[in-house]
Chains A and B, each alone.
Chain A
Amino acid sequence: MKIIKAAVAGTLESSDLMVKVSPSSGGLEVVVNSEVMRQFGRQIRKVVDETLKKLEVTDGTIVIEDKGALDCAIRARLQAAVLRGAEVEELNWSQLS
């Protein structure tokens, strides 16, 4: 999936996260900032990497500000931001599950 424009999903409220994506042709850059990085940083990164891999995102800049969201919210917000950035309307459910 190719990110063709800047897009945002989520909020900075507690238990949520904000994901910003923007296009880039120089590979994939992922920045994760989290209030619970020390305890859950590895798990958050795992969810983010798996989600991006399923969406086949290979280029772009992804910046995540996590406020203690559950895995399901991380997955959902990241998917929403990428789909918006890629201007994808029709969902491929196998990439989201």
Chain B
Amino acid sequence: MKKLRRSMLFLPGSNAAMLSTAFVYKPDSIMFDLEDAVSLREKDSARILVYHAIQNPAYRDIEKVVRINALSTPFGLKDLEAAVRARADVIRLPKTDSANDIHELEEHVVRIEKACGRPVGETGLMAAVESASGVVNAVSIAQSSPRLIGIALAAFDYVMDMQTERGDGTELFYARCAVLHAARVARIDAFDAVFSDVNDEEGFLREVELIRKLGYNGKSLINPRQIELLHNAYAPTREEVEYAERVVVAAEEGEKAGLGVISLNGKMIDGPIIDHARSVITRARASGIRQ
């Protein structure tokens, strides 16, 4: 079964308390942040803390992503060294502007994997797009490496680059569509930007509904309170599940009877509809029924 990546919870890499307890919230992925959430003077200490925290057995069943600093900074390579050696599942590269950024990252990852005895190719990559260049180059970025598991839109730097500001989502309309299309072309996952007002539950759910309908796999989150809301919003409704089960039963009966085309309640059921029905049932198994 394909890995679910609905929720990616950001954790500041310098916060020992959060790093010691975040696994209890059971997000699909945890992103240990060494970049923006860590002050310049704590970069060294956060790097070592994350190195040890992600080897804690409590995180064994959760996908561990480490957001390193950009490779152009004095911290990027050191972060990468720590993350790959600690066996992080995925490295998230911020400010990815072109496929070359991923190629450069991959060269370093291969070198470190060899140096620490990790199987070459085991470390996944993820590109965060945060600029007009990144959005325009999203397709080539998404296709730049077989290690890429996903591409994410990061909104704060992007809207600044676009000379606008966060608002009702209009400002992200093109970027969201471009990043999502790039992900689908490359057959990788697409992640939406964080929703930063943790007290605005209604606004968060409106945004989740929008990105879910667009086709995003999930969203970066900054507060554990947002996890359950997000998972529930991604769960299918009871009506959707019941209909999907009827479609699958009809499809199986049609196959047994050797029918090429089948119908349910007078509507034709073909391959894409059956595939969709199966995916609804799979989502219901993972996320439950929407409350």
A73 touches B52 (CB 8 A): yes
Q: Is the CB of A13 within 8 A of B52?
A: no
B81: A residues at CB distance < 8 A: 91, 93
**Alpha-carbon distance A43/B48, docked complex (angstroms):** 20
A76 touches B52 (CB 8 A): yes
Chain B residues touching A, range: 10 to 19
B53 touches A80 (CB 8 A): no
A9 lies within 8 A of B45 (CB): yes
Cβ–Cβ contact B16 & A10, under 8 A: yes
Q: A72-B52, A72-B55, A93-B116 are in contact. Are A15 and B16 (CB under 8 A)?
A: yes
B82 / chain A contacts, CB cutoff of 8 Å: 91
By the criterion CB–CB under 8 Å, are B49 and A80 in contact? yes
Bound CA span A80–B13, Å: 14
Determine whether the beta carbon of A96 is less than 8 Å from that of B16: no
How distant is the Cα of A15 from the Cα of B85 in the complex, in angstroms? 25
Instruction: Determine the distance from Cα of A73 to Cα of B44 in the docked complex, in whole angstroms.
Output: 14
CB-contact partner of B17 in A13, A84, A91, under 8 A: A13
Cα–Cα distance between A14 and B78 once the two chains are bound (Å): 28
Q: How many residues of A contact B (CB 8 A)?
A: 23
B48 touches A96 (CB 8 A): yes
For the complex, is B19 an interface residue (Cβ under 8 Å from A)? Answer: yes
B16 touching A73 by the CB < 8 A rule? yes
Does B51 lie at the interface of the complex (its beta carbon under 8 Å from any beta carbon of A)? yes
Report A-chain residues with C-beta under 8 Å of the C-beta of B16: 10-11, 13, 15-17, 69-70, 73, 76-77
Contact of A73 among B53, B55, B85 (CB under 8 A): B53
* Interface core residue of B20, B44, B45, B53 (most chain A CB under 10 Å): B45
B52→A15 contact, CB < 8 A: no
- Within 41-88 of B, Cβ neighbours of A (below 8 Å) are at 44-45, 48-49, 51-53, 55-56, 78, 81-82, 85
With CB as the reference atom, state the residue of chain A lying closest to B116. A93
Return chain B residues, CB-CB under 8 Å to A84. 44-45
CB of B21 closer than 8 Å to a CB of A: yes
The distance in angstroms between the C-alpha atoms of A73 and B19, with both chains bound, is 9
Residues of A within 8 A of B (CB): 9-11, 13-17, 69-70, 72-73, 75-77, 79-80, 83-84, 91, 93, 96-97
Interface residues of B (CB under 8 A from A): 16-17, 19-21, 44-45, 48-49, 51-53, 55-56, 78, 81-82, 85, 116
26 contacts between A and B (CB under 8 A): A9-B45, A10-B45, A11-B16, A15-B17, A15-B21, A16-B17, A69-B16, A69-B20, A70-B20, A72-B55, A73-B52, A76-B45, A76-B49, A76-B51, A76-B52, A77-B45, A80-B48, A83-B44, A83-B48, A84-B44, A91-B82, A93-B81, A93-B85, A93-B116, A96-B48, A97-B85
